[in-house]
Amino acid sequence: MDATDNDLAAVDLIIEILRNEMPELEYVGGAESLHEIESRTVLTPAVLVLFDNEELKQSPGYVADEGGVQLAVQKIHLELVVTNHEDMVTGDGLRQEAGVLRAKVRKLLSGRTLGPGFDPLIRTNSPKALHEPGRSYYPLTFTTTVVYQ
């Protein structure tokens, strides 16, 4: 799968990488919105992946629809969901588990090229983490530049 065949291929490719290389995750899948992630019940630890947005880079004289090349920076958002009911007061268990898993996801994806038509993934600013009693959502956001022809 490459960028020219599917405008949202980055999401599916990241899901595939995480499923294949992080067997310690109970669930890896797509999501439609941050609201859906927060309301969804999934086995944890889990990573939910969603397409955030796309910013087109216009180059004078290059129009993809007319046979030229167009660059687009796609932002892909991941939420690491961790549940731990043992340390609900201090959150120690959540931070321990989430910290290790988040570092592994970051190392696995940072600088990785997803396939033809994609530049390497670059980590970028993420929204704030969300904490609920016994469950936390730790965000990671990456961008990749896609070449449309």
pTM for this prediction: 0.85
* CA atoms within 13 Å, Cβ hemisphere of 20: 8
What is the SS3 assignment for 6?
A: coil
Question: How many angstroms separate the first and last alpha carbons of the chain?
Answer: 15
User: Cis before residue 133, ω within 30 degrees of 0?
Assistant: no
Give the separation between CA 89 and CA 14, rounded to whole angstroms.
34
Instruction: Report which of residues 20 and 149 the model is more confident about.
Output: 20
Percent of the chain with pLDDT over 90: 52
The string of pLDDT tens digits covering residues 61-112 is 555 556 667 789 999 999 999 987 666 555 566 678 889 999 999 999 999 9
* Closest-CA residue to 75 (of 136, 141, 6): 141
